[in-house]
Chains A and B, each alone.
Chain A
């Protein structure tokens, strides 16, 4: 099949990729660019492990064509904080014991990031609603909710300098 030249802006850097037009952003991120922090599972936008930020909104990369993302800013878990740094959400997930197997966590953190960017003073119900598209089978969600609420407080008092691109 004919490939098309794509220019993708991921985590602030431009990546030129040759890909068939039907290929998803998830596939290109993982296979062509080695950005494996974005996870693969159901491929039908039900589980949320492939969540990335597209122009700041949480989207399922498994049902998004890479070609649709040209000229739009994409953030993956690798770009949430500078290397060696942790975003307050990442810090809070560790501190609150919100991580078990961890496979859902990158998507969960990015879904939470998108939500907090527009809802800086959330309550528990709001967070539950915002994360309802991200399945976690290990934690029962409570520690994830607690971590997001705690990160929201931290972000209000001291927004990260490097992060939140």
Chain B
């Protein structure tokens, strides 16, 4: 293990590229995932989904299906409590009851002795419905006289701060200064419109859950959720049980990227298991993933920005409309975050920014790694280049002139600290060779920058010293692949003076592990790491008090070093002390907690906002060098550079892995991925036609880790997981424009789109 940076010479374990703890199990195939989980006597559940996007459900008859061989239960809305649930708006039910709102909405579920028997039973369920006039996109949903996706929207329970109206389930707004005055002060005003498509998280493990009830009336659900405690609450609501009767365990997760935050198949498994008295497993198909999961919201973005001739931004009025689909889901929150992203990491004195979450007759879109980030960033960072070109300014210089700096305010008035943005921009630009921006015909370089949050929420850990001196880290957070729990364990090992090999992690069981806000929002290593620091502080007090008594040495003369307490020429190992405590005091154990301190902001600037400030924000710049084939429009990426301010690089190799993977996923959204809808139905609901990047498609990504330490994060760390997903579409669009003069304003930037635009330009 080599130190990666001179900064870390004072540390043993944090700041070093320690191998992730769970790698051996994963490379040998012994690591258990939820999709692998099975119980004796287990049945297989499948879900019947609507083929109609908007209809009145007249009748559903499961009689014939229930009599088929191997079928043990068929359930519909009539068999489950009539409960509406949901995060910020309670607008969703387990099964459609009288109204179908999207093609893919669950109508019934079957449990059978094999997946084949369950699938056969689905085809035997008779559904009668009468189609209703649908709204397939935001424009249709907002048109005067548009049908309401939820007639009774006003009666739904919802967060009181939301601004709801008909098909709009939230309008979040930021107002600063006076945009009209700002536009008057401007020499030029630019208005542009951008659109993005829906893209799927693309985790390789389908969503899966196994549920089993016990004789006490408790249900245990083994699921690959990122948020076991939220799933516990939601299941309790759906099943009408106290939360203590619902236990959620995460055996292992094959990728989430936000797609496994909200309830997926857990409720179907639990309801079928209740009905049959047998354990039931439900796992999604690729078709279900692409038609009825929580893909990224398609967006329409209108940006109007005023600027002086020398490139000073004076005002921005921007609106972003998310198609949130048939239910609100994450939409109201994501629309809120979008407004902060529309401001960009820029100092703009006058702002009017609005984010809308709009109901349509499509699947309930959700949270995908940096939700709202790529859509908003594609729009505002594309426009920055449009402005620079029109004013004859270098796009890098335009950005440097306007970026936020240390101590300045964010759009809602939060005071920004640890702002490493200028360094990110300059280092990314230098690395890509920015001075030579158009090295040859058809080749160009592009740059884009942004900021993002480290999500708050609370985390608790129990840290226990075992009788052999090793240490158990018990956390409610799930390891979704980011190595965040390896990062937290590094913090623990560093502070407690033990080795990585001494630490065992137990995680994500709502009954036995302490609460955690969950693996979301780039927060896990940050928050669990800090909870570990708190636990070690408590544990050290316990250890030193015990050692003092045992060794007969004053506490002040003792120190914890390399797994032992030493002082006054005496020594006691952690193992010895743990055994003494087990014999006399119940063992050495500490409960460490952390909650991100609130980030003060100006409440007068926001309305309908559920995410008004970015905690410990990170800053980043992406630069790319690419060529465009003049005939085919095909894009070849020569180089891709990311400079990201990570605060403190807890585990450089793991962070680089996050950057490389986030860019690959972002390039998918930028270049090839799109869930294609026609009249509310998905045309490409399989992995042959939904094109994710393969090993042949992703370029080598060069990472530059910039470190402006956060005041809050462990050792100064900031959240790192989501940001790399934000800038790729804008960086690619800007490089394509630089290479060809063609400005593509919709995602994905396919070769066909570029070729057509090139032909148009040549006319």
Contacts and interface: CB of A to CB of B under 8 A. Distances in A.
B562 interface: no
Interface in A4-60: 30-31, 35-44, 46-47, 49
Contacts of A73: none
A142 interface: yes
Contacts of B33: 39, 103
A154 interface: no
Contact of B29 (A38, A47, A94): A38
Contact of A140 (B255, B663, B687): B663
Interface string B668-704: 0000000000000000001110001011101011000
Interface string A77-104: 1101100001000100111010111111
A47 to B, nearest CB: 6
B204 interface: yes
B203 interface: yes
Contacts of B687: 42, 44, 46-47, 135
B87 interface: no
B29 A103 contact: no
A119 interface: no
B481 A100 contact: yes
Contact of B27 (A36, A46, A86, A129): A86
Nearest to B36: A36
A100 to B, nearest CB: 4
Nearest to B24: A94
B19 A97 contact: yes
A144 B201 CA distance: 20
A140 B661 contact: yes
A30 B208 CA distance: 15
Given A101-B480, A142-B700, A94 B254 contact: no
B481 A138 contact: yes
Given A40-B35, A47-B204, A97-B657, A132 B29 contact: no
A90 B696 contact: no
B332 to A, nearest CB: 27
Interface in B539-597: none
A66 interface: no
Given A38-B29, A93-B27, A101-B204, A135 B692 contact: yes
B698 A104 contact: no
Contact of B28 (A40, A44, A46, A78): A78
A105 interface: yes
A46 B690 CA distance: 10
A135 B482 contact: no
B700 to A, nearest CB: 6
Interface residues on B, range: 35 or more
A145 interface: yes
B392 to A, nearest CB: 36
A137 B257 contact: yes
Contacts of A135: 202, 204, 687, 692, 694
B31 interface: yes
Interface in B16-40: 17, 19-20, 22-33, 35-36, 38
A28 to B, nearest CB: 13
Contacts of A43: 285-286
B654 interface: yes
A40 B38 CA distance: 14
Contact of B688 (A44, A109, A138, A144): A44
A37 B660 contact: no
A47 B657 CA distance: 21
Contacts of B694: 131-135, 141
A102 B254 contact: yes
Contacts of A138: 255, 481, 657, 661
A136 interface: yes
A101 B701 contact: no
Contacts of B26: 99, 102, 105
B665 interface: yes
Given A47-B204, A134-B695, A139-B657, A103 B255 contact: yes
Nearest to B687: A46
15 contacts: A38-B29, A39-B33, A41-B35, A41-B205, A41-B286, A86-B24, A86-B27, A103-B33, A103-B203, A103-B255, A138-B661, A139-B657, A139-B660, A140-B664, A140-B698
Interface of B: 17, 19-20, 22-33, 35-36, 38, 201-206, 253-257, 283, 285-286, 480-483, 653-654, 656-657, 660-665, 686-688, 692, 694-696, 698, 700-701
